[in-house]
């Protein structure tokens, strides 16, 4: 396992190229597949629908999580110790 | 109890009670044997259908063994999980930790087999009180506090559930645990749903889960990730199937868990957030309520237990070997823990619903059921969440833990390595089942409550999944720097109840304490002196009046005694003289009285 990973890491550019080729094959394959069993109009008529959906969904989730974290949800690790020491000073 | 049905909880409880007396070389075989026996019993029970273990109690009939397809599949996976979990923690010396885990598993199996609300409630509470020890046994600096918070929340949930059960009994007149009238919900319907929903970590009643599961012992988390939430899913499927609000709550859970998992720095807390998200799919499936949706929810619960326990075993191995759980203190571990990496990767692919891995066979059933019921918004959002699941669990977890930048200290790096044989065997078992379910789900589908008319292995489903995962991976690697873990905690709704708790403490310590002190001072100044004056009066009265009467009487008796003593000279003739004189006086008095 370790040897295989190191072998691939040594050829990272080739690995990336192969991944891009695979992505292209998968996206291209979606144009050839029978979509009449798909549940919605968008799946049936928008080319590369799930490719676009996957990319957009991942980008949106990363964006929302980052915005959410930076808006104050991500706090220093001693946040509760400090905030408790204000309200519950005797206990601390 | 009917002879044909054996309750597996009895075996686990008896096994747990005997465990402290089994020591030395017999301990490990015993640890493996008891849950295995419980699993065998559950397998034997699968041949049965109906109500067993019916016990009359007061005016009710307690049903301890309701066996049908829904209870059977949940009992099977729970019993299997007890075997895998115990095998994983075989080297844990503390008998108490194994006892807590077995009591916990017994509570879960008991709740699953319960056919009435009373026995369900008892087993429900057994789960809560046993599982908290799995948090306390971590013995970390925060374990005690986290455990108490966990217990407090579950006690509140238990009270809500009990209130629902009592109100339902008042309205309906029986305690049968069955499908509620979700089309016309009463107050008790909502209370019962909330009671179950709290254990399913429904947002906003979910904060106990990420906090407690990330703080549990390395072995305890493997049990925790399986039993509480999935038993709650079972109870919801049994009682609240088709309740519309569950679709909304399930979708919120699925997305909320994703966002927090993407932000999380602690590997086990990430997995805990992932439970919130994945249970959201099950809750949504139960809310949709069709045969396919219920089948999907149940199938997803089963495979979720398999891959989530595998993931907690993988990350638990990292904790056990290195003592660390933060991405910012780990990284690059593939070289030191290749087997752990391999098994964790299988868990990651399974939760991501990658083709031929576990969730591939279950998650799409729920989403398809949503589309078929024209709940397109819910299905789209669940697909959106599924992309997030792949991103944080299929990419972020393995990448930043086993690859990425190596943040290990020298000490951590030196300690890192694959864990002991029993942990590896447990992970092998979990990984094998994940692949087996994903590639040949027929045996799982055969166990589902309703007949299955669904095939996940279609060309369209395969290409849909490959596109989704492939292009989500592309987005991840392009935007990787924005999901780089940072050493911060994520504030959640628990902030509110922590603040409320501190506010309550402040209220007790300041205004209420001030009132108490003021009252004490007033009492000392006014009440105490009045009381002393009154006491002095009563003392005087006692001395002069009560004691005067009593002492006077005593003095009179003593004086009379002194006079009578003179009569007793000790000479018989004088004594006879007094006696006959008294008798004569009495005789004369009597005669005189008669004559009158």
How high is the pLDDT of residue A92?
A: 41
Cα of A41 to nearest chain B Cα, Å: 11
Cα of B465 to nearest chain A Cα, Å: 8
Residues A61 and A85 placed together within one structural domain of the fold: yes
Dihedral sign computed on CA atoms, order B184, B190, B195, B200: positive
Query: Which of B263, B391, B505 is closest, CB to CB, to A58?
Result: B391
> Which structure tokens are listed for B228?
């509480």
Residue B128 CA to residue B119 CA, distance in Å, equals: 14
| pLDDT of chain B, 596 residues: tens digit per residue | 445 899 999 999 999 999 999 988 999 999 999 999 999 999 999 999 999 999 998 888 999 999 999 999 999 999 999 999 999 999 898 999 999 999 999 999 999 999 999 999 999 999 999 999 999 998 888 889 899 999 999 999 999 999 999 999 999 999 999 999 999 999 999 999 999 999 999 999 999 999 999 999 999 999 999 999 999 999 999 999 999 999 999 999 999 999 999 999 999 999 999 999 999 999 999 999 999 999 999 999 999 999 999 999 999 999 999 999 999 999 999 999 999 999 999 999 999 999 999 999 999 999 999 999 999 999 999 999 999 999 999 999 999 999 988 999 999 999 999 999 999 999 999 999 999 999 999 999 999 999 988 899 999 999 999 999 999 999 999 999 999 999 998 888 888 888 888 888 888 888 888 898 898 888 888 888 888 889 899 989 988 888 888 888 888 888 888 877 766 767 777 778 888 888 989 988 888 887 77
Residue A63 belongs to what H/E stretch?
helix A49-68
Query: Which of A26, A83, A87 is closest, CB to CB, to B467?
Result: A26
Cα of A53 to nearest chain B Cα, Å: 7
ipTM of the complex: 0.91
Alpha-carbon distances, residue A6 vs A9, B332, B333, B403 (angstroms): 5, 12, 13, 11
Residues A58 and A88 placed together within one structural domain of the fold: yes
Q: For residue B470, which of A28, A34, A35, A64 has the smallest C-alpha distance?
A: A28
Q: What are the boundaries of each domain within chain B?
A: 1-229, 241-326+340-488, 497-587
Residue B505 CA to residue B496 CA, distance in Å, equals: 14
User: Counting Cβ atoms within 10 Å, is residue A66 exposed (0-12), middle (13-18) or buried (19+)?
Assistant: middle
Whole-model pTM: value is 0.85
Residues of chain B neighbouring A46 (CB-CB closer than 8 A): none
Q: How many CA atoms lie within 13 A of B387 on its CB side?
A: 28
How high is the pLDDT of residue A88?
A: 57
Cα of B386 to nearest chain A Cα, Å: 9
Query: Which of B341, B388, B471 is closest, CB to CB, to A55?
Result: B471
Tens of pLDDT, residues A20-65: 999 999 999 989 888 877 888 898 889 999 999 999 999 999 999 9
- The number of distinct structural domains making up chain A is 2
Mutation for B interface: A61, A64, A86, A88, most B CBs within 10 A: A61
The residue segments making up the domain with residue A27 are 1-33
Q: For residue B120, which of B275, B234, B208 has the smallest C-alpha distance?
A: B234
Does any domain span residue A41?
no
User: Counting Cβ atoms within 10 Å, is residue B495 exposed (0-12), middle (13-18) or buried (19+)?
Assistant: middle
In Å, how far from its chain's centre is CA B469? 35
DSSP one-letter code for B326: B
Radius of gyration of chain B (CA): 36
CB contact A89 to B (< 8 Å): no
Residues A24 and A64 placed together within one structural domain of the fold: no
């Amino acid at each position: 396992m370790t040897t295989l990973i190191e072998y691939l890491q040594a050829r990272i550019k080739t690995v990336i190229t192969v991944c891009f080729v695979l992505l292209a094959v998968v996206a291209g394959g979606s144009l050839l597949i029978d979509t009449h069993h798909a549940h919605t109009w968008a799946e049936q008529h928008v080319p590369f629908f799930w490719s676009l959906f996957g990319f957009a969904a991942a980008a949106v989730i990363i964006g929302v999580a980052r915005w959410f974290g930076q808006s104050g949800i991500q706090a220093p690790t001693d946040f509760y110790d400090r905030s408790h020491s204000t309200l519950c000073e005797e206990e601390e | 109890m009917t002879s044909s049905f054996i309750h597996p909880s009895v075996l686990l409880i008896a096994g747990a009670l005997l465990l402290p007396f089994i020591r030395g070389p017999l301990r490990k075989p015993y640890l493996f044997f008891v849950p295995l026996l419980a699993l065998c019993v559950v397998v034997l029970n699968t041949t049965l259908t109906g109500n067993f273990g019916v016990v009359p109690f007061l005016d009710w009939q307690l049903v301890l063994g309701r066996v049908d397809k829904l209870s059977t599949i949940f009992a099977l996976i729970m019993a299997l999980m007890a075997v895998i979990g115990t095998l994983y923690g075989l080297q844990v010396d503390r008998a108490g930790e194994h006892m807590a885990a077995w009591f916990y598993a017994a509570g879960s199996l008991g709740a699953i087999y319960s056919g009435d609300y009373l026995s369900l409630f008892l087993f429900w509470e057994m789960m809560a009180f046993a599982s908290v020890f799995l948090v306390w046994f971590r013995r970390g600096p925060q374990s005690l506090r986290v455990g108490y918070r966990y217990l407090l929340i579950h006690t509140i949930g238990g009270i809500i559930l009990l209130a629902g059960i009592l109100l339902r009994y008042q309205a309906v007149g029986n305690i049968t645990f069955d499908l509620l009238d979700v089309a016309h919900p009463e107050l008790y319907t909502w209370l019962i749903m909330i009671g179950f929903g709290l254990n399913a970590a429904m947002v906003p009643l979910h904060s106990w889960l990420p906090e407690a599961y990330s703080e549990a012992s390395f072995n305890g988390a493997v049990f925790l990730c399986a039993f509480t939430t999935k038993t709650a899913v079972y109870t919801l499927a049994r009682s609240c199937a088709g309740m519309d609000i569950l679709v909304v709550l399930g979708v919120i859970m699925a997305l909320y868990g994703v966002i927090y998992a993407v932000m999380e720095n602690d590997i086990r807390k990430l997995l805990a957030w992932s439970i919130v998200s994945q249970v959201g799919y099950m809750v949504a499936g139960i809310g949709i309520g069709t045969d396919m949706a219920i089948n999907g929810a149940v199938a997803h619960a089963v495979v979720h237990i398999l891959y989530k326990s595998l993931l907690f075993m993988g990350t638990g191995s990292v904790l056990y070997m290195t003592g660390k759980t933060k991405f910012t203190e780990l990284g690059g571990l593939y070289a030191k823990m290749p087997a752990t990496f391999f098994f964790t990767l299988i868990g990651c692919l399974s939760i991501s619903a990658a083709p031929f891995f576990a969730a591939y066979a279950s998650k799409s059933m729920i989403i398809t059921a949503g589309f078929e019921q024209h709940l397109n918004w819910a299905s789209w959002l669940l697909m959106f969440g599924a992309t997030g699941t792949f991103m944080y669990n299929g990419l972020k977890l393995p990448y930043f833990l086993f690859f990425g930048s190596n943040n290990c200290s020298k000490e951590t790096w030196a300690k890192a390595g694959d864990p002991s044989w029993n942990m590896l065997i447990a992970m092998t078992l979990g990984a094998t089942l994940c692949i087996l379910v994903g590639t040949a789900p027929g045996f799982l589908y055969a166990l589902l409550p309703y007949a299955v008319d669904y095939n996940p292995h279609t060309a369209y489903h395969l290409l849909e999944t490959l596109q989704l995962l492939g292009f989500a991976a592309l987005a991840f690697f392009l935007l990787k720097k924005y999901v780089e873990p940072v050493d911060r905690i994520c504030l959640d709704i628990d902030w509110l109840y922590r603040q409320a708790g501190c506010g309550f403490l402040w209220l007790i310590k300041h205004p209420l304490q001030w009132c108490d002190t003021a009252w004490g001072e007033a009492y000392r100044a006014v009440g105490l002196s009045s009381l002393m004056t009154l006491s002095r009066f009563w003392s005087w009265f006692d001395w002069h009046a009560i004691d005067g009467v009593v002492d006077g009487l005593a003095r009179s008796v003593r004086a009379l005694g002194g006079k009578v003593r003179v009569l007793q000279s000790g000479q018989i003739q004088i004594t006879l003289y007094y006696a006959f004189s008294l008798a004569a006086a009495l005789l004369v008095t009597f005669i005189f009285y008669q004559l009158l």
